[in-house]
Amino acid sequence: MTPARILIVEDNRVVARDIRGQLSNIGHTVVGMTARGDNAVELALTARAEIVLMDIRLEGSLDGIGAAQQIREHCKIPVIFLTAYADDETVQRASHTEPFGYLLKPFEELELRTAIEMALYNHAAERKLRESERRFVAILSSIGDAVIATDEETRVTFMNPVAEALTGWPQREAIGRPLAEIFRIVNEETRQRVVEDPARQVLSLGTSVGLANHTMLLARDGRELPIDDCGSPIIDDGGRITGAVLVFRDISQRRQMEETLRKAQADLVHVARLTTMGELAVSIAHEVNQPLMGIVTNAEACLLWLGKDQPDLDEARKAADRVVKNGHRTGDVLKSIRSLVRKSSRELTKLDINAAIMEVLGLMRSELRRHEISVEAELSEDARLVVGDRVQLQQVILNLILNAIEGMSATACQPRVLNLSSQNDKTGYTLIAIADTGVGIDSTGSNRIFEPFFTTKQEGIGMGLSICRSIVEAHGGRLWASSNSPYGSIFRFTVPRSANELSFDPAA
Amino acid sequence: MNSHSTPPHEAQPTVMVIDDDRDIREALQGLLRSVGLRVELFASVQEFLDSGQLSRPGCLVLDVRLPGRSGLDFHDDLVSANVHLPVVFISGHADVQMSVRAMKAGAIEFLTKPVRHQDLLDAIQRAILYDGAHREEQRTLGAIRTNFDKLTSREREVMALVVAGRLNKQIAAEIGISEATVKFHRGQVMRKMHVRSVAELVRIADKLQLTHPQPQTTSTKV
């Protein structure tokens, strides 16, 4: 038994004394006795009573029920009614004060004892519950995420301050309103109202749900915020879903950071491409010089044919035709250089990967020749069409070919062969392989070659392969390396053949 | 590309262009044909070798950078194989080192793309003249050799001593025959070698690079 400090409010002093005797027997302490309802509250507070035994009929203007009401409002000390009246109306009134017990006079000591025990126990449980509630309110008010709770009809039952700030609705106005009115969301791109509000989804599915990407919250004051959210059901002891909790946050700042990061990455990719092009400058100049030589020579031949005593117009025309052809060839070379040097945002198109490979090979022909490398191309017709960013894919091919050239120029006597192939892998991807007969991959470094700043070269900064991999992965493909037989290495990568395979983030 | 018969071309020199770039080949062909030169085109050294025209009169126009062996390496091969086909190099780059190497190896000219047509035509002209002169010389040398082969060993002995400046008497003493016999052999040498004077015989001996047999031995013997 827990000894308790008890206040007795009883207009019959004989009965009061009797009760005090009983309580002492049980082991409780009576900290005060009064016959009036109007001073019961004050007495309960000053005497620090832990429980109040309250008669209903009392002296003074306030009866026991009124006094219990005041005690409940002021200090939440548990009250047990003691009364000889058990008529319906009285019981009804008394129950409004949420008493912790109801003893009908006359009562036995055991009944009194039990009633006090029960009241103390329930009071402690109630206090714990109140504490827990206060704790949750404090937590929900201080976290950075917005929280809205609803009942099973998706009517708002709770909003924390962040939710109030983001939606622009104060909790007191929002409570009881349908969630869809407070939490108005649209798809960022289509501007279409998201049909089913997340609370309703949670209620119907009974599981936690995340919101689709690119959701915008329309606040009451007209602001639009990109948000990220999830909802969870509230489930009672019986397993019934009694409501939903929605947690969401403003992601505009994160968006901004992502955008900045994306720009930085795009810049890096571009700079890497320029660096690569710079390494190739001499070879590329040669590719322009070739048709230029053709133009000059043909034009001179044309003039010579025309300058004869008997001008040969037919030959002159043929030479002029060759000038035109070479002029176009120069243009094509310049076009492919310009497209590689241009700083462009990622552009997804259906493209001919075989043509893209040949174009890169065209720019590198002189470089390959300089290193006495022969080229084999096995490009499959049914692997031709892929979806991706042409410039970036060419950058990958360019880097891998340069890599192969470097690997081969480091070897002295092996035949130098660069083998390029494309094939349809029958799983929706085109597989491109770039094989060389160079030094191959050091087995200890093979896992690290794709890491940023890992390099085995004197002059490299080690970004080439790392950038290649990030480009390929942004296309939803894979890039990996293995050893070629009997020597050299093979780099392979996949590119999706249709947009379905693309895990490209369209916002990026 | 070319017929197997060589004799008809023997008269007219041919410019053989080896370049792996079709546009360049066609442009050069157009230019050279416009000045009346005969042109043959090859995409690679191998293609040229396979055509079996190494001994054809004319010259080679070679791109420095070719797939497989470079133009410079091929030129070295020709030189070490004693093939005297003159070469005009065309390079995409004004590479000093390369041009020095080419010129040292005996190239006629090293031109940078885009080539001035007059420079190219001049170089080709020189190359063809050089080739013609060289072939003429080779022909003469061939004839001399044939004549020389007809000499007996005694006649060769006498000839060596004659071009070394010995008198008939000295020769007779040196090889132990009569002066009359020396005179006879000497007459045979002049006739078989188709020369009329000792000076001419000396020139021919130079071409044959005959080593004079121990010119100092006589003085020590005497």
CA distance B81 to chain A (A): 23
Question: Phi-psi category of A113—alpha, beta or left, where left has phi over 0 and alpha has psi -120 to 50?
Answer: alpha
- What residue of A is the nearest CA neighbor of B92? A286
Alpha helices in A342-475, H assignment, sequence order: 353-370, 390-409, 464-474
Q: Which of A282, A286, A293 to mutate to test the interface with B (most CBs of B within 10 A)?
A: A293
Cα A163 from Cα A198, distance rounded (Å): 15
Q: Which amino acid is at A387?
A: V
pTM over cut 0.90: no
Indicate yes or no: CB of A301 within 8 angstroms of CB of B30: yes
Domain extents in chain A: 5-138, 143-250, 253-345, 346-508
Q: Report the length, in residues, of chain B.
A: 222
Question: Which of B23, B65, B67 faces A294 most closely, judged by CB atoms?
Answer: B23
Query: Are β-strands A385-388 and A349-352 bridged in parallel, bridged antiparallel, or unpaired?
Result: antiparallel
Indicate yes or no: CB of A322 within 8 angstroms of CB of B69: no
Cα B163 from Cα A194, distance rounded (Å): 114
Cα A11 from Cα A56, distance rounded (Å): 9
Cβ neighbours for A110, distance < 8 A, ≥ 6 positions apart? none
Q: Which of A287, A300, A302, A361 to mutate to test the interface with B (most CBs of B within 10 A)?
A: A300
Compute the CA torsion angle B201, B206, B208, B214 (nearest 10 deg). Answer: 90
Q: Which of B15, B21, B116 to mutate to test the interface with A (most CBs of A within 10 A)?
A: B21
Indicate yes or no: CB of A297 within 8 angstroms of CB of B67: no
Residue A506 near residue A262, CB atoms below 8 Å:
no
CA distance A192 to chain B (A): 58
Q: Which amino acid is at B110?
A: F
Q: Which amino acid is at A299?
A: A
- What residue of A is the nearest CA neighbor of B66? A369
Indicate yes or no: CB of B30 within 8 angstroms of CB of A297: yes
| Nearest of A429, A383, A420, A380 to residue A401 by alpha carbon | A420
One digit per residue, pLDDT tens: chain A, 508 residues? 778 899 999 988 888 899 999 899 889 999 999 988 888 888 888 888 999 999 988 888 888 888 888 888 888 889 998 888 777 887 888 888 888 888 888 888 888 888 888 888 988 898 899 899 889 888 888 888 999 999 988 899 999 999 999 999 999 999 999 988 888 888 877 777 765 777 888 888 888 887 767 788 889 988 888 888 888 888 888 888 888 898 988 888 888 888 888 787 777 778 888 888 787 787 788 888 889 999 999 999 999 999 999 999 999 999 999 999 999 999 988 888 888 777 766 778 899 999 999 988 888 888 888 788 889 999 999 999 999 988 889 989 988 998 888 888 877 767 889 999 999 988 889 999 999 998 877 765 566 677 666 666 655 555 678 888 888 988 889 999 888 888 889 999 999 998 765 554 443 3
- Report which secondary-structure segment, H or E, holds B149: helix B117-149
What DSSP state is assigned to residue A445? T
pLDDT of residue B138: 86
Residue B58 near residue B41, CB atoms below 8 Å:
no
A5-138 and A346-508: identical CATH topology: no
- Fold held by A5-138: Rossmann fold (3.40.50)
Question: Which of B30, B67, B93 faces A374 most closely, judged by CB atoms?
Answer: B67
Give residue-wise pLDDT tens across range B36-46: 999 999 998 88
Q: CATH classification of A346-508 is 3.30.565.10, yes or no? A: yes
CA angle at B214 for the pair B208 and B215, rounded to the nearest 5° = 90
Give residue-wise pLDDT tens across range B97-144: 888 888 888 899 999 888 899 999 999 999 999 999 988 888 888 888
Indicate yes or no: CB of A290 within 8 angstroms of CB of B113: yes
pLDDT of residue A322: 95
Residue A244 near residue A202, CB atoms below 8 Å:
yes
- Complex prediction ipTM: 0.72
Helix (H, G, I), strand (E, B) or coil at A175: coil
- What residue of A is the nearest CA neighbor of B119? A297
CA distance A340 to chain B (A): 23
Cis peptide bond prior to A486, omega within 30° of 0? yes
Residue A74 near residue A41, CB atoms below 8 Å:
yes
Indicate yes or no: CB of B65 within 8 angstroms of CB of A370: yes
Helix (H, G, I), strand (E, B) or coil at A84: coil
Indicate yes or no: CB of B114 within 8 angstroms of CB of A295: yes
Indicate yes or no: CB of A297 within 8 angstroms of CB of B21: no
Residue A489 near residue A482, CB atoms below 8 Å:
yes
> Span A143-250: which CATH code?
3.30.450.20
